[in-house]
Amino acid sequence: MTFPSNDLEQLLLDASQDRLDMGSFLQALVESTAWVPVSSGDNDEGPQIRTVRIEDKPYVRVFTSEEQARAVLPEKNYINPVLGTVLRNLPDEWGIVINPNAELGFTVNAQTIRSIIGG
């Protein structure tokens, strides 16, 4: 797997090396497409975003590329939306975890997400 594999991952790398502030990266993330695991959609409601619990709080896994997603969750179903669209529709208490289990992965709490999307 090549990293970075896209412009968003290049921005993540730049932010991790202090060549870009984290706020600028997060704004770019909100405006970019991302890979988000969903349920198989076998019910009447269709696919649902899945969460993980971190310190007893719900977080949505968000991946910066399909390669990052498949490296961690190869058998899952994904949606590939502009992330801001998803974030604006999440419950206020949900955070995100970016590239979980990857070298450049981290969490963003719900309060930070709300401030970025203006909610």
User: Mind listing the pLDDT tens digit for each residue in 22-63?
Assistant: 999 999 999 999 999 998 766 777 788 989 999 999 999 999
Domain 7-117, architecture per CATH: 3-Layer(aba) Sandwich (3.40)
CA atoms of 24 and 114, how far apart (whole Å): 15
Cα–Cα distance measured from residue 93 to residue 105, given in angstroms and rounded to the nearest whole number: 20
Residues 6+ apart with CB under 8 A from 104: 3, 12, 13, 16
User: Once rounded to an integer, what is the mean pLDDT over residues 77-100?
Assistant: 95
What does the domain layout of the chain look like in residue ranges?
Answer: 7-117
Q: Which residues pair with 77 in a beta bridge?
A: 38
Q: For the whole prediction, is pTM greater than 0.85?
A: yes
